[in-house]
Amino acid sequence: MYFDENEPVFKRSKWGTTRYAYNPRNPVGFALIVVTLVVVGVVMLLMVFRAGPFAVHERPAPTPTPLSTPAGEWDADY
């Protein structure tokens, strides 16, 4: 692959005038592309296997509280 350090890291995208994309001809731009793909791949695997921050934690079932009236609520004379 041809690398040129004089190339910019970001280039204007051909899809629009205000969008920028990594430039694979710059070594830093190419490294950013590789790092982005690795991070996205790891996050997708963590989601598929429900690991890391996507893990489902087993919680005990909530116990219902007994129904009781608060003290003094029904004692008032109207």
**pLDDT of res. 17:** 73
**pLDDT of res. 28:** 95
The residue among 10, 66, 63 whose CA lies nearest residue 33 is: 10
Do 12 and 22 form a contact (C-beta atoms < 8 A)? no
Domain ranges of the chain: 10-54
d(CA 9, CA 70): 67
**pLDDT of res. 73:** 60
pLDDT tens digits along 28-77:
999 999 999 999 999 999 999 999 999 988 888 888 776 766 665 666 55
- Is this model's pTM higher than 0.75 or not? no
- Three-class SS string for 7-60? CCCEEECCCCCCCEEECCCCHHHHHHHHHHHHHHHHHHHHHHCCCHHHCCCCCC
**pLDDT of res. 27:** 95
